A and B are shown apart, each in its own frame.
Chain A
Amino acid sequence: MNQLSVAALVFVLFLGGLFVYVAEDIPAFGDPDSAPNRYVKLFDMDATGLVDDLDQGVIPASLNAKIGAVGLPLPSGVAKLKEGEWEAVIIPEETKQHFYPKEQKYYFIAKEGDELWVYRYSLYLRFVEEGKHETEVPNMVTYILADYRSYDTLGETTVIFTAGVAVLLLLRRTGKRPE
């Protein structure tokens, strides 16, 4: 075994060890509640006097101001999930009803001690929850690839087309063809 393959073997073993060491910190990909899949933390604010507003479904002005400061659209309604957890939704205007679901889940507000943590729901939530209803297609991979992200797939098909043309130009054998 020459020098190269020994070095390659050692490198592969090192990578394997590194992966095993890191593996337990990676959140299980399928776990619906891990941060990247469910929601991403925006900011936190003190919860003095806001809790009962939220319970009645009224959006406190200070929360709106903070969300506006961050630059995200303002929620149009708050629903109480369970004790200390709320969910702010945005209802799109009438004209765009077909493009977006009836009410789009936008923010998730959780009460931590005496603070309110405001999260932004991640985009995949809409694919996962609304997808099957919106596209009547059972296979999630297909409707994400072909419908929600069909612009990417159009680009991908163009890449395949370009690869074909490139190979055609390079390898094409013109001249004598035994037709």
Chain B
Amino acid sequence: MIFELDLVLLFLVVIIAIVAITTRDLLSAIMLLCAYSFLMAVVWVEMHSVDVAFTEAAVGAGATTAFLIAALSRTKRWEKK
């Protein structure tokens, strides 16, 4: 496992997490969380655990994002300030 690549990926993951929290637009927050899941899947593959990466990609990016968007369709899109 290439240490530098891990470092870059994990740094990106932390940035995405922070931006997802601080943003007011919920839809973009969901999209950021979807990207977060994909990056975490890449990090898992980097650490040679392919089953977890497969699950993270399928569930994290696929099912969870679909649920969040379906839930968002019931509430308003902009977080109250």
Contact = CB atoms under 8 A, between A and B. Distances in A.
A48 to B, nearest CB: 47
A5 interface: yes
Interface in B33-49: none
Chain A binding site: helix, strand, loop or mixed by DSSP?
A: helix
A70 interface: no
Contact of B21 (A5, A139, A141, A142): A5
A5 B51 contact: no
A1 B51 contact: no
Nearest to B50: A141
Interface residues of B, number: 5
5 contacts: A1-B22, A5-B21, A5-B22, A8-B21, A12-B14
Nearest to B52: A141
A1 B24 CA distance: 12
Given A5-B21, A139-B51, A141-B51, 6 more contacts: A1-B22, A5-B22, A8-B21, A9-B18, A12-B14, A142-B51
Nearest to B49: A141
Contacts of A139: 51
